[in-house]
Amino acid sequence: MFKQQMLNWGNQFNICCLLDNNNYPSACHQYEALLAADAIDVLELPAGKAFDALLHFHQTQQDWLFGHLAYDLKNETIPGLRSDNHDGIGFPDMSFFRPRIVMFLRQQQVHIGGINLSQDEALTVFRDCLRMPVAVITPAAPVLHPLHARLDHGAYIRAVKDLQQHIRRGDCYEVNFCRENYMEASGVYAPALYSQLNALSPAPFAAYYKLAHRYLACSSPERFLQKRGQTVISQPIKGTSRKDSDPATDQLLRDQLYHSPKERAENIMVVDLVRNDLSHTAVRGSVHVTELCGIYSFAQVHHMISTISAQVSSQTPFTSVISNAFPMGSMTGAPKIRVMELIEEYEHTRRGLYSGAVGYITPEGDFDFNVVIRSILYNASDNYLSFQTGSAITFYSDPEKEWEECLLKADAMTKTITC
């Protein structure tokens, strides 16, 4: 209930970010929910020198930072790449803000802080939150037009078959291939969008993010990267199965996912990619796979998740850890550079914030970022609403089953905007 009040209170500001683990059990979670609101300073940059600027911004402010890394920062981490596809949302490649208020829930306690914030001021913020409605009050019903796709069924199947030809020629081994659904929509109230999506598909890396007229409603099950002290972990997802209401059938689906040669091969491939990414900044010999191909259940699907950990030197800039692993391997494929070229060629939509990351950086330089998937993005100025879904294309992929996986992952978003 209080999380909804936090959302309603934070949404009054031009910039805010709510991160919620939806009480999903994990030893890696530090907070039940985090809210940052009311920007004091903002860093907003295109790909080029963004990571250097972020490091300087953090060193100058020495404060909490919240924000995002868009997928198209690939053009900075891998010089020579481009992003020329259609972009209807318009999130910048990188944006971080220093909030006036940071609020977090942990162990049934509310903590409120901010630069030079007195105890009385913090108490006022808490009371203002308590005065907020305990539900989202939608101002008016939105006007929604038909849902469209930039890749229909036929175009998607042809693209998958063409990508498999690249795999047969040895250009790559696995490509994360995505397609966009979009509609014209006016009068959308973004907090209601997020609350509806979160109710349908609660996830451990859920996020509501407002950046002026651009919004993200995210129900992500995946962590990109977390740093706590000198320990870094990544938890890529590769491998998906539907759920079933019958317990026996559902357990069978879990078992089939765990033993699937195709799904395990995809997961192990991305694990090797992440190990390589982390090795660039890790202390020698410290990169370890702490869990391989674990099966985890979420509201809509079962997923196969692995955990890779590493130790980094206290002298290593936190931005180096992030930039050497970005974009995340679960959303690209292998080898990274070639598949990102193919993604640009075969997808019809600039990914932008989708398959990027949203999260926070502490004053000490620790951080935690999700992977922006299972998400609805909305540009209120242009009345443009969008969501993307994808799957891993390999030599053994059945194009029709990959199409069905895209639809399965889109289910909660589709229901959110059509119900």
Partners of 223 in beta bridges: 235, 370
Burial class (CB in 10 A: 0-12, 13-18, 19+), 248: exposed
Q: Given 222, 266, 347, 402, which residue is catalytic?
A: 222
The answer to whether the peptide bond before residue 247 is cis (omega within 30 degrees of 0) is no
Whether 345 is catalytic is no
DSSP H stretches of helix in 187-285: 190-200, 247-259, 261-279
CB 157 within 8 A of CB 149: no
CA distances from 250 to 242, 246, 254, 266 (A): 8, 6, 6, 22
Q: Given 238, 336, 344, 402, which residue is catalytic?
A: 238
Name the residue among 216, 176, 211, 172 with its Cα closest to residue 194: 216
Whether 222 is catalytic is yes
Tell me, what amino acid is at 206?
A: A
Find the Cα–Cα–Cα–Cα dihedral 403, 409, 412, 414, rounded to 10°: -30
Catalytic residue ranges: 222, 238
